Amino acid sequence: MTFLFDIGRVLLDFSFEPSLARLFPNDTTDYSERMEKMLERKDDFEAGRIPADEYVAWAIGVIGSKVTPEQFNEAWRQIFTPNEPMWDCVRKLAADGHRLILFSNTNGIHCPWMFGEYPQFSVFKEAVLSFETGFVKPEPEIYQWAIEKHQLIPEEILYIDDLPQNIATGIEFGFTCHQYDLKDHAAFESWLTENLKSEI
């Protein structure tokens, strides 16, 4: 079987705010508004429509402090926590010979840094990373890009993502999909078992 795995809140949990909050001046009174503004361009950044250095310079301006690009990048990266139950499943799937492909909205600050920081990603031999494609999920173009680039047969794809809009586009393309919930990993394991049975 071929599996498409999202990264955020599937393989790694994440939260931007605790890490990025340290970059703001202590006397910031409109913290929530600035944080929201900083993240509103994240999709364009993750689609590769904004170069990393341009986004970082703009975001530092929004923050309104004298942090360096290096300090910003470090804070931007320190947002992840591995989802160990999912990694146990991924390692077993890899050992059983299944084809595993990353399919994620991400950016040039997180990649390739992420793959060195979390060496367990080495089980994924292929990847569709939004900032390299020009599109982000749930835009149909990135799904089509994945199909063509990796010569996928949609009816043979098992796709795992946490966001309903991304799952909806996957269903439109004919993927077998599971909307993952970090608080209900058991539901994923049940879905996985049922779909692997159908392969036999």
Tokens 């409109």 sit at which residue? 30
- How many domains does the chain fold into? 2
Residues 130 and 180 in one domain: yes
* Contact predicate 180/6, CB 8 Å: yes
Distance CA 176, CA 199 (A): 13
Residues 70 and 124 in one domain: no
Distance CA 69, CA 109 (A): 11
Q: Please give the pLDDT value at position 198.
A: 73
Q: CATH number of the domain at 6, please.
A: 3.40.50.1000
Region for residue 126 given its phi and psi (left: phi exceeds 0; alpha: psi -120 to 50; beta: otherwise): beta
Kindly state the average pLDDT of the residues 134-152.
Answer: 98
Q: Please give the pLDDT value at position 200.
A: 52
Residues 38 and 86 in one domain: no
State which residues form the domain around 107: 2-13+81-197
Residues 108 and 38 in one domain: no
Residues 8 and 19 in one domain: no
Tens of pLDDT along 20-61? 999 999 999 999 999 999 889 999 999 999 999 999 999 999
